[in-house]
């Protein structure tokens, strides 16, 4: 709850809006079971008597879906100003068990569709490893190519003083790091941290009087192909193939118009599948695309300029940080990691097990 | 399908509510069940109370118990006490009946597992009347 509050305080101060002007609230139980930070509890804690509320929970991409919903609510006049918050003290509460320890720590019966997987001992990393192996099998993608993703994002993390890990790494470092679940090494996996973030969304009219030149939502779309990994229809393809083109279509842009991408890097394979799904490269070509250096600083598609989940921070549901970094880049507040002349940024979140994908296109210029 | 009596299992078990329970009970009797829709012919797994294609009530059919590995992973680190014996293999298996099933793949050197390798199902009981489905090289 305190992480939500800290982030809300900073976001409100940053844009200079009166807290009393907030009449919409969007959040999700970011802290996980037992954290008590569901949307209604948080609305009370933060003192927001909302006219519009949304507690959509689709995993880490929830915030991309929230932007889609809040933009529609504001357009429809359900409210004028929406506060979106996220907070998680997952590292403090659970330690590093999330990735390799699992949610199920004892012999409790497992209900729902997870009973088809959890009793076999499926760790979170293992679920993504299933996708990585299949992609390697079908397209010849290599561990070296996946490692390149982690190396490029670490380079950006080195420019972010708040990043969890900032020391440069090499492809060999990734390949030599401990194998967690074949073919994913430790450095193919995101970090585990605490953290929080918040966004303020409002009408153009209200935004005009605030502290910053506004960033516009040009497009937002989401889709779900499955929830549990064992129901993924094609382990080499994620829903970004659907919601990516839809969001870019709304914005009237193509991948060539995107100046920087903030992609959900829970694991290196997540980024690879997303690049293909979004159409930044052809299906099966993700490996050679990343090897060409497009994602790097100075590349054609600088990606995860804050150091991403692989190196900067990952409190469990990282989607909000994709949006925050996209906004920072479009405002020109990217510091040393600033992408020159960034005018259009894309954020793509993945929730669940490559399951619920949300794409948001943000722009510096008013949508025409 | 071969049934192994293993009541020593101390790890997490399926809750077995609704159709799930019917699946795990049949497995304990050596039958591998999947669902087929009497209306549209769609086949599905895991079991549900409706056909995901047309919303009719699905019926059970018995699968042959054979399959091929669609993808797999070798788990080398997992902090749950029940799974302390590492490494082990988890796989998605394509059944000739047209559904895909997740499960443990045993009886094989993890390094020797390959996508496309033929496997067959066996059941391992976790209580007197229910069993989970595992796979081994065919």
- Provide the ipTM: 0.97
Which CATH number does the domain housing residue A36 bear? 3.40.47.10
The first and second tokens of residue A158, run together, are 């080195």
Distance CA A6, CA B71 (A): 43
What residues in A contact B103, CB-CB < 8 Å?
120
Q: What is the dihedral of CA A52, A320, A230, B53, to 10 degrees?
A: 30
How many angstroms away from the CA of B65 is the closest CA of chain A?
17
What residues in B contact A106, CB-CB < 8 Å?
12, 81-82
The first and second tokens of residue B54, run together, are 């047309």
Per the CB < 8 A criterion, the answer to whether A331 and A294 are in contact is no
Q: A60 and A162: one domain?
A: no
| Assigned domain for A101 exists | no
Q: What is the dihedral of CA A147, A148, A150, A156, to 10 degrees?
A: 160
| Assigned domain for A102 exists | no
Q: A296 and A308: one domain?
A: yes
* Residues B58-111 pLDDT 10s: 999 999 999 999 999 999 999 888 898 999 999 999 999 999 999 999 999 999
What residues in B contact A133, CB-CB < 8 Å?
71-73, 115
Substitution target from A116, A178, A225, A228 for chain B, most B beta carbons within 10 A? A116
Substitution target from B6, B67, B76 for chain A, most A beta carbons within 10 A? B76
CA nearest to A133 within chain B: B71
How many angstroms away from the CA of B84 is the closest CA of chain A?
10
Whether B80 and A181 lie within 8 Å, measured CB to CB? no
- With an 8 Å Cβ cutoff, the interface of chain B facing chain A consists of 10-17, 20, 46, 70-83, 88, 90, 92, 100-104, 110, 115, 126, 132
Could you write out the three-class secondary structure of A99-161?
HHCCCCCCCCEECHHHHHCHHHCCCHHHHHHHHHHHHHHHHCCCHHHHHHHHHHHHHHHCCCC
Of B76, B80, B115, the CB nearest to A101: B80
| Assigned domain for A106 exists | no
Whether pLDDT at A102 is above 60: no
End residue of a domain, out of A178, A207, A236: A207
Per the CB < 8 A criterion, the answer to whether B99 and B109 are in contact is no
Interface size A-B, in CB pairs within 8 Å, comes to 121
Per the CB < 8 A criterion, the answer to whether B101 and B92 are in contact is yes
Distance CA A345, CA A181 (A): 33
CA nearest to B75 within chain A: A181
* Residues A186-202 pLDDT 10s: 999 999 999 999 999 99
Q: Report domain extents, chain B.
A: 2-137
What is the pairing mode between strands B43-44 and B131-137?
Answer: unpaired
Distance CA A67, CA A219 (A): 9
pLDDT at A308: 98
pLDDT at B93: 98
Q: A264 and A322: one domain?
A: yes
Lookup result for tokens 């569709």: A113
End residue of a domain, out of A163, A178, A207: A207
Q: The domain containing residue A82 runs over which residues? A: 2-94+195-207
Beta bridge partners of A85: A198
Distance CA A106, CA A98 (A): 14
Whether the ω angle into residue A72 lies within 30 degrees of 0, i.e. cis, is no
Among A126, A120, A89, CA closest to A267: A126
CA nearest to B111 within chain A: A182
What residues in A contact B126, CB-CB < 8 Å?
119
Q: A156 and A233: one domain?
A: yes
Q: A153 and A236: one domain?
A: yes
What residues in A contact B17, CB-CB < 8 Å?
111
Per the CB < 8 A criterion, the answer to whether B56 and A104 are in contact is no
Give the number of other CB atoms < 10 A from CB of residue B14: 24
Whether pLDDT at A105 is above 70: no
- pLDDT band of A106, cuts 50, 70, 90: low
pLDDT at A94: 75
Of B14, B72, B88, the CB nearest to A121: B88
pLDDT average, residue stretch A16-36: 89
- pLDDT band of A98, cuts 50, 70, 90: low
* Residues B101-118 pLDDT 10s: 999 999 999 999 999 999
CA nearest to A181 within chain B: B75
Contacts of A99 (CB under 8 A, 6+ apart): A123, A124, A125, A180, A189, A190, A192
| SS3 state of residue A267 | strand
Q: How many domains does chain A have?
A: 2
What residues in B contact A110, CB-CB < 8 Å?
12-15
Lookup result for tokens 């929730």: A351
pLDDT at B7: 79
Q: A242 and A298: one domain?
A: yes
| Assigned domain for A99 exists | no
Q: A294 and A160: one domain?
A: yes
How many angstroms away from the CA of B127 is the closest CA of chain A?
12
Q: A203 and A171: one domain?
A: no
Whether B77 and A182 lie within 8 Å, measured CB to CB? no
**DSSP H or E stretch at residue A320:** helix A319-331
Q: A150 and A30: one domain?
A: no
Q: A297 and A156: one domain?
A: yes
Burial class from Cβ neighbours inside 10 Å (0-12, 13-18, 19+) for residue B4 reads exposed
Percent of chain A scored above 90 by pLDDT? 89
Whether the ω angle into residue A183 lies within 30 degrees of 0, i.e. cis, is yes
* Residues A124-171 pLDDT 10s: 999 999 999 999 999 999 999 999 999 999 999 999 999 999 999 999
How many angstroms away from the CA of B68 is the closest CA of chain A?
13
* Residues A296-336 pLDDT 10s: 999 999 999 999 999 999 999 999 999 999 999 999 999 99
Per the CB < 8 A criterion, the answer to whether B48 and B56 are in contact is no
How many angstroms away from the CA of B125 is the closest CA of chain A?
12
Whether A109 and B13 lie within 8 Å, measured CB to CB? yes
* Residues A258-293 pLDDT 10s: 999 999 999 999 999 999 999 999 999 999 999 999
pLDDT at A334: 96
Q: A171 and A59: one domain?
A: no
Burial class from Cβ neighbours inside 10 Å (0-12, 13-18, 19+) for residue A192 reads buried
């Amino acid at each position: 709850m305190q992480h939500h509050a800290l982030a809300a305080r900073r976001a409100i101060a940053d844009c200079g809006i009166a807290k009393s002007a907030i009449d919409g609230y969007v959040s999700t139980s970011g802290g996980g079971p037992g954290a008590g930070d569901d949307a209604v509890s948080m609305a009370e804690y933060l003192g927001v008597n909302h006219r519009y509320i949304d507690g959509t929970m689709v995993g880490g991409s929830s915030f991309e879906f929230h932007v889609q919903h809040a933009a529609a609510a504001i357009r429809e006049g359900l409210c004028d100003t929406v506060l979106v918050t996220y907070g998680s003290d997952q590292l403090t509460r659970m330690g590093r068990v999330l990735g390799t320890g699992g949610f199920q720590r004892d012999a409790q019966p497992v209900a729902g569709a997870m009973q088809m997987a959890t009793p076999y001992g499926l760790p979170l990393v293992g679920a993504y490893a299933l996708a990585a192996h299949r992609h390697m099998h079908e397209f010849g993608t290599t561990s070296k190519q996946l490692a390149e993703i982690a190396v490029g994002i670490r380079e950006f993390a080195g420019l972010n003083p708040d990043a969890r890990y900032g020391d440069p790494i090499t492809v060999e470092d990734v390949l030599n790091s401990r194998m967690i679940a074949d073919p994913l090494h430790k450095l193919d996996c995101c970090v585990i941290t605490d953290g929080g973030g918040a966004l303020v969304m409002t009408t153009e009219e209200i935004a005009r009087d605030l502290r910053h030149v506004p960033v516009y939502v040009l497009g937002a779309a989401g889709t779900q192909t499955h929830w549990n990994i064992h129901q993924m229809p094609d382990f080499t393809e994620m829903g970004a193939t659907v919601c990516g083109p839809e969001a870019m279509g709304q914005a009237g842009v193509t991948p060539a118009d995107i100046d920087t991408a903030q992609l959900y890097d829970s694991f290196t394979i997540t980024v690879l599948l997303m690049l293909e799904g979004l159409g930044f490269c052809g299906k099966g070509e993700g490996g050679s695309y990343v090897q060409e250096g497009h994602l790097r600083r100075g590349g054609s598609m600088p990606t995860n300029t804050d150091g991403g989940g692989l190196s900067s921070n990952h409190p469990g549901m990282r989607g909000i940080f994709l949006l925050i970094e996209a906004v920072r880049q479009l405002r020109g507040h990217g510091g040393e990691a600033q992408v020159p002349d960034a005018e259009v940024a894309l954020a793509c979140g993945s929730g669940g097990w490559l399951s619920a994908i949300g794409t948001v296109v943000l722009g510096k210029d008013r949508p025409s | 399908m071969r049934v192994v009596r293993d009541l020593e299992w101390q790890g997490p078990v399926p809750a077995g509510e609704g159709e799930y329970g019917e699946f795990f009970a049949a497995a304990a009797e050596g039958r591998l069940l999947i669902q087929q829709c009497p209306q549209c012919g769609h086949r599905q797994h895991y079991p549900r109370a409706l056909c995901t294609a047309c919303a009719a009530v699905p019926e059970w059919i018995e699968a042959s118990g054979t399959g091929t590995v669609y993808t797999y992973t070798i788990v080398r680190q997992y902090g749950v006490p029940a799974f302390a014996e590492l490494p082990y293999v988890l796989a998605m298996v394509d059944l000739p009946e047209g559904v895909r099933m997740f499960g443990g793949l045993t009886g094989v050197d993890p390094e020797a597992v390959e996508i496309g390798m033929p496997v067959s199902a066996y059941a391992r009981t976790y209580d007197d009347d229910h069993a989970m489905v595992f796979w081994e090289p065919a």
